[in-house]
Every structure is written in C-alpha cells, then in structure tokens.
Amino acid sequence: MSAPSAPLTDAPLDPASAPSIRVPPPGPHSRERLARLAAVAYPGLSSEIAPFVISRKRGWAVEDVDGNVYLDLISASASVPLGAGREDLIDPVIEALRRYGNEDSHSLASELMAPLAEQLLAITPDSLTRVDIALNGTEAVEIALKVMRRATGRPLVLAFMGAYHGESTTTATLGAERFDIASGLRHLSPGFVHVPYPHPYRSPFRPRPGGTGDATVDYLRDHVLFHAIDPRDVAGVIIEPIAGSGGVLVPPDGFWPALTELCREHGWLLCADEVKTGFGRSGTMFAVEQWGVQPDLMCLGKAMGGGVMPIGAVLGSERAMGGFDDVPTGSTWAWLPAACAAALATLEVFRREPVLENVRALDVRARETLGRLPERYESVGDVRIKGGFMAVEFVRDRETKERAPELQEAVAGECLRRGLLADSSTTSYNLQPSLVMPVEILDRATAIVDEAIAAATA
C-alpha cells in the first residue's frame, strides 16, 4: 500500500461527531501501520508518536484508520488555528501552487511577498518596521539570534528556564523547557544565559522592598548582572511572552516594565518569540499587545500559515534589522508563494470572523470548568488559562509542589481512551483548542479531563 487507504465510511467527517471511539486505540489497523513505521523509523520518532494513525481531519475532529474520531485539543502543536480542512485557506494555496510552484524567495520575489510583509507590520507593534522571511518558527528564532548579535556586536543572549524555542542545535540550547531537549548540545552553542521564567506557580523568587517591582528582574539585576555577567556583553533577551509549551506561564504584569527598563538601560534588544502565542492564541492577535510591549524583534511561525502551509517571519525595528545586509538568513522554502497565499488568507479570516472574541469566550468557559479542578482534586496543583492556552499541572503534594508526571501520563491515557487528544509531552497537561471551536465543544473536552482525573486518581 502506498496511497492512503479510503476512510471506513463515505460520509463526510462531521466535527460535531467528536469524540466517538469504536475500538480502544490502537485499533488493529493503527497497530499494523505503526508497526510498519516503527520498523524503519528513528526510534526517537516512534516513541513520541500517538498510538493511532490518522485517516482524515475536519475542524477539530481527527479520525483514525480504525474509524475512531478524536476531539483534537492539540491543533497540530498550535499550528492549525482555525480548524482543519477549510476551503477558504486551501483554495488560495492550490491556486498559488499551480501558478508558481516553489520559488526560492531569497532570489526571485513573488508579488505576494510585499503585501504579506506590509500586513504583518500593520498588525504588530509600531516599533517593528522590517521583515525577514523564514520557513518556520525554528528558522525565525535562528535568524533573530543572528540579527541580535550582528546589530549589537555583543555575544550573549538572555533566555528563560521553562521556555521552548525549537529543537535545532541553536534553538534547543536557547530553550530550556526540559534539560533533555538540549542533551549533549549545550557546549556546541554557547552564549546563552538562562534565568528562571517568571513562573506564576513555581518562581523561586519574591520581589524585594525597594526593588524593580518584579522578582525575576530583581534577581537579574542583583545577582546575574552583579556577580556573573557584564551587561555590555549582552545583545538582548529572547522571551516567549507567555511560555506556551512550558505550561502556559503568564508573567506578572510588573515584569514587563521592569524588563523593558533593564533593556533600555543597557541597550539590549528585546525579542518576543511569538511563534506559539502569535495569531490569536492568547486572546489578542499577539501576546505582547496585552502589556503594551514594543519589542525590537518578533518571531512568528506556526499559526501564521493557517494550518495549511509552513511559514515563519522575523520582524525587527530599524535598530535591530534596518542597518546591515551582510547576515545571510533563511532557507530555500522560506515564503514559498503558496505559503504566502496561506498566510494572506489566514489574515483575511481574522479580519472577517470574530476569532479573537471566540478565543476570549473559550478562556472564560475554561476558567469556569478546568479552573475548578483544584477544588475537586488534591492532585491538581495548578490550572493556568490564557485565551486558547490551557494547562493542568499535577502534583504529588500541594505543599511541596512535587511534580506528578506519572499521574499526568495516566490522565492523558484515560483522556485518549475517551477520545480526547491533548498534549502531555511537557511539564503540564496542555489543551490547545482550535481558536474557532465552539464553547460547547470545549465543554465536552473539559468534562472528559474531569472524568479522566477521577478515573486516574480512584
């Protein structure tokens, strides 16, 4: 078999039918296909793959080759923002593929590039005036790092423990979500200084009287910059404005003015990695808007391609990106014309439909449902919700906050058996609905999480 097998039924996949489990996953068809893949795949790939094989997707419904339909709360790692299978996103891509095929946009520009760059600058903070093209989020972060160091002539970059920036050698070492993402690599990509993310539940710091008003920035000033690092060696700071994969960490409001002032004082560039937060997931188009932050650089990816094409971008201020042309960036498929068409169509949907309003409605409802879990279960240490980002963190003990990864795995297993897909690959159980998912469908998902916790803790 080389072509995909036909779905088990001719009926179109109805997102309202999710979830519906016919055979406990993995069913026999999935088992057979997964075994075939495992025989040839890199074992590190096989160990991460879910225990079923997809047959088709529509909206937030994912059907497997055994006819099980899952409710999708992963949204392809938040890269499918508006539901799967939308003709208004797919048609412009097909048309661009027919018309242009691929072109290396570093050497031959399509007429889609300028409008896309203009539209990005029009909806992002005023500080940003330049655009560079990238294939995806990883490449956008790689470019931002090169540009920061070139613009300032300084080697060091400050980053945060708990943040994720990708898995290439450079971005894995810039990130510090879990130590194993950068195992064996840290020495290959030096120059990153990590401090704890301003974690609302696990920060080791308290603000001190007479300090900056923010505990993490106090720590940076009083300790890192006093004992270890000359601020004149620092090019800038890269931060996810909300740490998404790391468990929906929202910094306290006082963090942003304190950090911005630190950057201003030392001439550091502030780079917002909005690869996951960008394009609506936090309830605003970009997360930095919520604090009025004017970054020097912004990395984009994931949802930018509307879930139909890979695309990324780095936006920069004149200081960060306008003054040199000697840093080679990007790769062959960056901003292929069809990906530009996907991004333009995605922006059009955001203009036409009340996507952000829906994200805010999902936020409100999730607080009423998931938000109550800590009252009902001793083992739920914390629930964090911001727009379409939702995280449930399990602990062995509320007092010590000792993590309970085995319970998280058990809950994820119970959810999967009930047809709910969410992300258990990280330090919390993360739910990432489609940004256009109706609130009643989210209710189905949160009811399953509740049942699954009850089952796993019984």
Ligand X SMILES: Cc1ncc(COP(=O)(O)O)c(C=O)c1O
Residues near ligand X (CB under 6 A) are 77, 136-138, 141, 164-166, 240, 244-245, 273, 275-276, 301-302
Closer to ligand X by Cβ: residue 138 or 216: 138
Please work out, in degrees rounded to the nearest 5, the angle formed at the alpha carbon of residue 36 by the alpha carbons of 32 and 40: 160
Indicate the residue whose CB is closest to ligand X: 137
Other beta carbons within 10 Å of 331? 13
- From first CA to last CA, the distance across the chain in angstroms is 44
Cβ 407 to ligand X shortest distance, Å: 24
Other beta carbons within 10 Å of 121? 15
Question: Residue 29 has which token pair?
Answer: 């068809």
Closer to ligand X by Cβ: residue 125 or 166: 166
Cβ 240 to ligand X shortest distance, Å: 5
Residue 155 burial by Cβ neighbours in a 10 Å radius (0-12, 13-18, 19+): exposed
Q: Return the SS3 of 349.
A: helix
Cα–Cα distance measured from residue 236 to residue 217, given in angstroms and rounded to the nearest whole number: 14
Interstrand relation of 389-397 and 380-386 (parallel, antiparallel or unpaired): antiparallel
* CA torsion, ordered 69, 75, 80, 82, to nearest 10 deg: 70
Closer to ligand X by Cβ: residue 377 or 429: 429
Closer to ligand X by Cβ: residue 137 or 283: 137
Cβ 208 to ligand X shortest distance, Å: 30
Closer to ligand X by Cβ: residue 29 or 302: 302
Residue 107 burial by Cβ neighbours in a 10 Å radius (0-12, 13-18, 19+): exposed
Cβ 165 to ligand X shortest distance, Å: 5
Cβ 135 to ligand X shortest distance, Å: 8
Closer to ligand X by Cβ: residue 303 or 448: 303
Cβ 172 to ligand X shortest distance, Å: 10
Other beta carbons within 10 Å of 449? 26
